[in-house]
Structure formats: structure tokens, C-alpha cells
Amino acid sequence: MNFAIVGCGFIAKKHAAAISQTESARLVAVCDKVTDTMQLYKEEYGANDYNDLEEMLEKEDIDVVCICTPSGFHASIAVQVANAKKHIVIEKPIAMTLEDTTSIIEACKVNEVKLSVVHPNRFRPVVQELRKIMDQGLLGRISHVSCIVNWNRNQEYYDQASWRGTKQYDGGVLMNQAIHNLDLLLWFMGQPKQVFSMEATRFRNIEAEDVSIGTIQFQSGALGTVEASTTVYPKNFEESITIFGEKGTIKIGGTNALFFEHLELEDMTENQIQDIKESVKADPWGTPGHQWIIEDMVNAINDNREPAVTGEDGKNVLNLVLSFYESAKRNQPVQL
């Protein structure tokens, strides 16, 4: 299948690599308003370059378009691509507002094209193992969970482009960094019922938040805490999810949530637990998440099924982030 990329910044490199590593996919075109950014894709992948999206969609034989622009531009581009009858892989967050997200999802439905949102952490080996444990009910009922993303993004990171850290085009630590962990939290725990949040912009010269602390009540009755920041000195400190159940306690953690830091289950022997831990340690990254997303999109088209991470999944986690923002703004709990 023929792929194209719109927006040739940092994250586009991961998409290009994932496409090249997928047997049944090839990169045929790229589009960006800044011509120099497309040189890499011309030289390494033989992609044709375009400054105009409409021209690319008209001239190229494209099956799937990967949207890698700043988040605030996702909606207008995605609707245009869907109307051109092309399937879409869109970077997180799916959009910056629920209205824009709805317009993307509806455009894809009307034009009968597939829509996949890039939440690649779902495909990490440790996350896949945790999902198996959850699906088997080995934790029993859940009392509470903890979600932590304490990372470093220095001022230099935000100064790379004028859109970084803005509320209109980028968002803060919840929208940009912690959204991956929040997606996993919803994947494990189901829908939230109520949130309360406080946020601040402490160290970085940006419009959005660089630190956020929040609580969640899930529909199941379980409670959760969320702690996220880009203010940690001098480098990434922790990314983790801890789940406390009546029959077990599990923590996946490290600086990138790649390992089982704690795994204790009533209905699993020590040898079984050790085997799971060792299998994850042997290959903690596994197949790159973006490659999973690209391969899954190809298979979803061939099998005529929904992609693994749908537009509705992207909308659900965006709704959670926006609810945290609303709660912090109003300084009171928000019902979802």
C-alpha cells in the first residue's frame, strides 16, 4: 500500500521508518510547507515532495496518509484527506478539541475510510502482558491506580518551534507527554466518571502547563491519581502505572514504563511471574510501536475491520485531558 506523510518534523521520521519496515507498505510522497524538511524523505525513501496537500492528493496514488503536523492543524488536514477517500493514521492527540475530533471521525465515516490514532505504547511487551493479566481477571476487583509521568523537557525543547507549548497548537504535559499513559489507563480501567485536577506552569516559559496533579473516579468505582510534569531535573525520571487489585499488585515502570517493577498475583506461581518478567526484560521495546500501528492499518484495510486504536479511542483520552484542564480552570470536580 502507498503511504504519504503530511508534516515532516521529528515524529515523521518514525513514521517513515515504520513504513519502510512494513513489507506491504511504501512511502511514495511527503508534504510540508518548508521544502528543506522533505529532503531526507526524498533521498532515503525516494518519496516525491509537495508543498501543497491538495496537489499531492490529486497527483499521487495514495492509500494511507500519516498526519504528523502540529496538533492544532490535525482536524482541517484530516477532513481534507478523508474527503479525498484516503485512510488516515494520525498522531496523538487526535485533535485539540472534541468538536474537531468529531469532525474527523464523521468525515472518515462518511467517506468510508479507516482512522487510526498513534498511541504506540499499547504495543510494548510489558503493556501487552499487563493487558493479558487484566483480561484474565487475575487482579480481581481494582481498588485504585496510579499514573506517573515525571519527565524533562527543557526550555530549549519548547523553543524549537513557536507552536510548542501553546494551548491552540500543542498543549502542555497532559496533552503532549502524559496522554500516552492516560490512554493506557483508560485501556486498562475503562471509562472515567469524574476528575479533579490542579495544574501550574512552574519552570518553562510556555502558555500551557508544565506540571499537573489530578484524581479520577472510574465508572467501576475504582479511584486513580495522575502526576505529570516536564520540569524534572536533569532528565526523564519516571513513567509508570501501578494497579492495586484485591488479588494482586502490579507496577510497570522505569523511565519509560518498559519493565515490571512489581508483579505479585494470588493465582500465579513465582516461576510463572519470573518467566513473564524475564521475557519482557529480554526485549523491552519489542517491535517499534509506530511499526505496529502501520502494520495494523494495512491489515485493517485488507481485513475490512477497525484499526487497533480507533478514532473513538483518541476521542476518549482527549476528553479526559480536556476534563482535567476544565477542572483546573474551575478549581472543582468535573463530571465526564
Q: Nine-digit cell at 197?
A: 485536577
pLDDT, tens digit, 9 for 90 and up, residues 80-108: 999 999 999 999 999 999 999 999 999 99
Instruction: Quote the distance between the C-alpha of residue 66 and its chain's center.
Output: 14
Taking residue 14's Cβ as centre, other Cβ atoms within 10 Å add up to: 20
CB 208 within 8 A of CB 172: yes
Bridge partner residues of 146 (DSSP): 225, 242
For every residue of 127-188, which 3-state class applies, written as one string? HHHHHHHHHCCCCCCEEEEEEEEECECCHHHHCCCCCCCCCCCCCCHHHHCCHHHHHHHHHH
Instruction: Tell me which residue of 316, 317, 192, 181 sits closest to 252, measured CA to CA.
Output: 181
What are the sequence ranges of the domains in the chain?
Answer: 2-113, 122-286+318-335
User: What values do phi and psi take at 205, rounded to 5?
Assistant: -85, 75
Q: Which amino acid is at 52?
A: D
CB atoms within 10 A of CB 51: 12
Spell out the per-residue pLDDT of the chain, length 336, in tens. Answer: 999 999 999 999 999 999 999 999 999 999 999 999 999 999 999 999 999 999 999 999 999 999 999 999 999 999 999 999 999 999 999 999 999 999 999 999 999 999 999 999 999 999 999 999 999 999 999 999 999 999 999 999 999 999 999 999 999 999 999 999 999 999 999 999 999 999 999 999 999 999 999 999 999 999 999 999 999 999 999 999 999 999 999 999 999 999 999 999 999 999 999 999 999 999 999 999 999 999 999 999 999 999 999 999 999 999 999 999 999 999 999 999
Tell me which architecture the domain covering 122-286+318-335 has in CATH. Answer: 2-Layer Sandwich (3.30)
Q: What would you report as the CA-atom Rg of the chain, rounded to the nearest whole angstrom?
A: 20
Q: Domain spanning 2-113: which superfamily? A: NAD(P)-binding Rossmann-like Domain (3.40.50.720)
Q: Where are the beta strands (DSSP E) in the chain?
A: 2-6, 26-31, 48-50, 64-67, 87-91, 115-118, 142-150, 192-200, 211-218, 223-229, 238-245, 248-253, 259-265, 334-335
Q: How many separate helices (H) and strands (E) can be counted in the chain?
A: 12, 14
